[in-house]
Amino acid sequence: MEKFKTQALFELAQKQGIEEMEIYIGETKSFSVRVYDGKVEHFALEENRGLSARGISNGSMGYIYTENLKGIDREKLISGLKENADIMEASEKEEIHFDNETCGSMELKNAAIEKVAEEDKIAFALEMEKKAFSIDERIEAVNYCLFGESSGGRMIINSKGLDLCEEKNIAFAFLSVVAKAGGAVKTGSAYTVSNEFGDFDAEALAEEAARKALDQLEAKTMASGPQKTLLSNEVSADLLQAFSSAFSAENVQRNLSLLKGRLGQTVGVGDLTITDDPFLQNKAGSRSFDDEGTCTLKKNVIENGILRTFLHNKKTAKKEGLPSTGNAYKGSYKSPVSIAPTNFFIRPGSVSISEAMENMDVGVYITDVQGLHAGLNAVSGDFSLSASGFAVRGGKMAEAVHQITVAGNYFDMLKDIEAICSDLKFVMPGSGHVGSPSVLRGKLDISGE
């Protein structure tokens, strides 16, 4: 990132009565191509760069941002920041922090992928679509075929001596296909996230997406009742992501988490460990410092079934008399500081999918759920989701099933895990990057015919 000169801003702020000040600069560059019917349907190159400032005046914190870094009006920025601080009613004292600690350096940017020609990335997307149609004549359409890439950086500088900068990049491919036979129409999708272009395999993505759609063409519903349930790695990761807010100290302090007051207590089976690890190579959530400038650290949020910590930023940690866990997060330079995990995942076990099915004998293998935004309550842990997958009989995968609903309570499920598989997978990143292996749970309520 291009270095931004802050000294003049800090000096002007001090003259205007701003006691402490922080500058946050964020920039992103993105490339995306979407193809349809053998042609480029959408192509985009975007750049975004901006600055946010926060500062303390008379004990209150003010905030302001600008998108114009080259022609920045320093007087206007500082006067606006002071005005905002002076009208704020501080319910609690906020501070600009500086931990005299050196964060470990990480190589998060792979320059090689940015040197791959745009034509080659377009060709890859077209190849994904072509491969999907070649797999089976029942693949009627490719309704979404995308390759995207994003690079960016963060810079945090404050008047107390903090000066941090980090750059990273990531790319992703996503493919969704439609299969049709008789009156049945089913979709299947697949994706890859990496900053190594060699990790993207058009044929493998096409085969995975097509298999998911084709397997469901002859699906039937199943009888209602409690069933032992094996959740695929993607489904288990989706559920962990949906309920990850329960581990945020901010939600705990607002009485929006059932885990409040349970630190040091058993909340899951002895084999369950949920880790937040910002140091994983080639993962979207990796970072050496958070968006307040705190050095990140690897920690087990749940360790061998025991709740060890919540995820903190400076504000929530101060309330508890604790150090921050390095999980302060800003969606962009315009956003306020919140809390989010980095690479947040259930630690894999040593059980294979086939072994898990043998252990369950009879039950259901859930490979897809719908309605995550409407069908669950992140506070209570309750969920009821439309699902599809496969029946399991005699320890073997049997016929495909659909038009069923799976219901239960996520926090109860953590204490009812019978096996954790070895197939760890991370889902598409959001505010954090969440992963899980497939997990065999005790009985969940299945509603079918």
Strands (E), 58-120: 60-66
What is the C-alpha end-to-end distance of the chain, expressed in Å?
58
Q: Could you tell me which of 351, 446, 437, 349 has the C-alpha nearest to residue 390? A: 446
Q: Could you tell me which of 36, 225, 65 has the C-alpha nearest to residue 132? A: 36
Mean pLDDT of 7-19: 93
pLDDT value of residue 143 = 96
pLDDT value of residue 430 = 67
Q: What is the dihedral of CA 296, 302, 308, 309, to 10 degrees?
A: 40
**pLDDT tens for residues 62-110?**
999 999 888 888 999 999 999 999 888 766 677 888 777 788 888 999 9
pLDDT value of residue 131 = 98
Longest dimension (CA), the chain: 77
pLDDT value of residue 374 = 87
For residue 431, pLDDT over 60 is answered with no
Q: How far apart are CA 327 and CA 341, in angstroms?
A: 6
99 three-class SS:
coil
Residues with Cβ within 8 Å of 321's Cβ and at least 6 positions away in sequence, in order, are none
The count of residues in the chain is: 449
Residue 178 · residue 213 · CB < 8 Å: yes
Cβ of 43: how many Cβ atoms within 10 Å? 12
Strand partners, 391: 364
**pLDDT tens for residues 209-262?**
999 999 999 999 999 999 999 999 999 999 999 999 999 999 999 999 999 999
**Structure tokens belonging to residue 379:** 């506070």
Residue 329 · residue 341 · CB < 8 Å: no
317 three-class SS:
helix
Mean pLDDT of 369-377: 91
pLDDT value of residue 272 = 98
pLDDT value of residue 277 = 97
Q: Could you tell me which of 250, 288, 243, 286 has the C-alpha nearest to residue 267? A: 243
For residue 55, pLDDT over 80 is answered with yes
Alpha carbon distances (Å) from 371 to 233, 242, 383: 17, 11, 10
The owner of tokens 């809390």 is 339
Residue 177 · residue 202 · CB < 8 Å: no
**pLDDT tens for residues 165-204?**
999 999 999 999 999 998 899 999 999 999 999 999 999 9
pLDDT value of residue 449 = 79
Q: How far apart are CA 147 and CA 129, in angstroms?
A: 11
For residue 412, pLDDT over 90 is answered with yes
φ, ψ of residue 222 in degrees (nearest 5): -135, 170
pLDDT value of residue 98 = 79
Q: How far apart are CA 290 and CA 154, in angstroms?
A: 10
Residues with Cβ within 8 Å of 82's Cβ and at least 6 positions away in sequence, in order, are 13, 16, 17, 18, 55, 57, 62
φ, ψ of residue 26 in degrees (nearest 5): -125, 140
